[in-house]
Amino acid sequence: MRNLKVLMAYRGTAYHGYQKQANGVTIQETVEKCLSRVLDTPVDICGCSRTDAGVHANGYCFSFKTDRQVPVRNIVRGTNGYLPSDITLLSCEEVPEDFHARFSSRGKEYVYLIHNSECRDPFAEDLKYHYRRKMDLELMRRASEYFVGTHDFSSFCSEASEKASTIRTVHELGITREGDLVKIRISGNGFLYNMVRIIVGTLLWVNEGKITPEDIPEIMKRSDRKLAGKTAQAHGLYLNRVFY
């Protein structure tokens, strides 16, 4: 039995997130159908993460096992021939039997894109979050420093199970600007549900003067979602890289 690791990119606009569900078309369902056609056998893929409806990916990883001996190059070419234009396989390689796209991951990097301008960008309506207010990046960078490190991020997630740990480590959080494009890049050992979008929303609250950078440690300490910023819109978020 071969174990295959696949890297893909997708535009999440038309999908109800990554994971298969009964009430909408998803990335997983679409990819599995196309892979199954190429390999002429049912295929179940294991994704590295769940992404919400409207969220995109530059480097999403999934793995699957098959006894078919189709060359990896042909798997990529053949599947891309069936996939819609908003999903593409980037690479495929054979990996050890114990590799799993989710459980073997050592961390992830997300990017959030903001079109910071009075005018909308008609060419990126569903690819960047349109934010009209002037952005004080130095103030936001000062706030971002409080997220780096190992913390309880229960104030920065939409759902927290009593059994699951809400402790996560953020390795890096950087904010850059090029013209009207503001890019927020965050990497860590793992992320809670909506954690990146809530951190972005909290940084925007800092920019708007609703809270100060120095309020963030107390928000973390209180473990209360209502104290943190809004959940930023999904269409600005990209799963950028997965680390193994």
CATH number at residue 71: 3.30.70.580
Are residues 176 and 145 part of one domain? yes
Give the tens place of pLDDT for each residue, 172-227. 999 999 999 999 999 999 999 999 999 999 999 999 999 999 999 999 999 999 99
pLDDT band at 130 (very low <50, low <70, confident <90, very high): very high
Measured distance CA(158)–CA(195) in Å, rounded: 7
Are residues 80 and 119 part of one domain? no
Does the pLDDT value for residue 158 go beyond 70? yes
Does the pLDDT value for residue 161 go beyond 60? no
**42-67 as b/e, with b when 16 or more CB fall inside 10 Å?**
ebebebbbebbbbbbbbbbbbbbebe
Is 101 a member of any domain? no
Are residues 154 and 70 part of one domain? no
* 52 classed as catalytic: yes
Residue 62: predicted pLDDT: 98
For 167, other C-beta atoms within 10 Å of its C-beta total 13
The domain total for the chain is 2
pLDDT band at 164 (very low <50, low <70, confident <90, very high): confident
Burial class of residue 218 in the structure, from the number of CB atoms within 10 Å of its CB (0-12 exposed, 13-18 middle, 19+ buried): exposed
Q: Are 195 and 153 in contact (CB under 8 A)?
A: yes
Mean pLDDT of all residues belonging to the chain: 96
Which of 48, 71, 94 delimits the end of a domain?
94
Retrieve residue 70's tokens. Answer: 């189709």
Give the tens place of pLDDT for each residue, 1-55. 999 999 999 999 999 999 999 889 999 999 999 999 999 999 999 999 999 999 9
Residue 159: predicted pLDDT: 75
Are residues 89 and 125 part of one domain? no
Does the pLDDT value for residue 163 go beyond 80? no
Retrieve residue 194's tokens. Answer: 């909506």
Measured distance CA(96)–CA(111) in Å, rounded: 29
Does the pLDDT value for residue 170 go beyond 60? yes
Which of 40, 71, 94 delimits the end of a domain?
94
Are residues 217 and 131 part of one domain? yes
Does the pLDDT value for residue 244 go beyond 90? yes
Q: Percent of the chain beyond pLDDT 70?
A: 98
Are residues 141 and 77 part of one domain? no
Is 179 a member of any domain? yes
The pTM of this model reads 0.95
CATH number at residue 128: 3.30.70.660
Does the pLDDT value for residue 117 go beyond 70? yes
Residue 160: predicted pLDDT: 61
Burial class of residue 71 in the structure, from the number of CB atoms within 10 Å of its CB (0-12 exposed, 13-18 middle, 19+ buried): exposed
Q: Are 106 and 49 in contact (CB under 8 A)?
A: no
pLDDT band at 131 (very low <50, low <70, confident <90, very high): very high
Retrieve residue 90's tokens. Answer: 């980037």
Determine which one of 40, 52, 86, 180 is catalytic: 52
pLDDT band at 91 (very low <50, low <70, confident <90, very high): very high
Structural domain including 167 reads 107-243
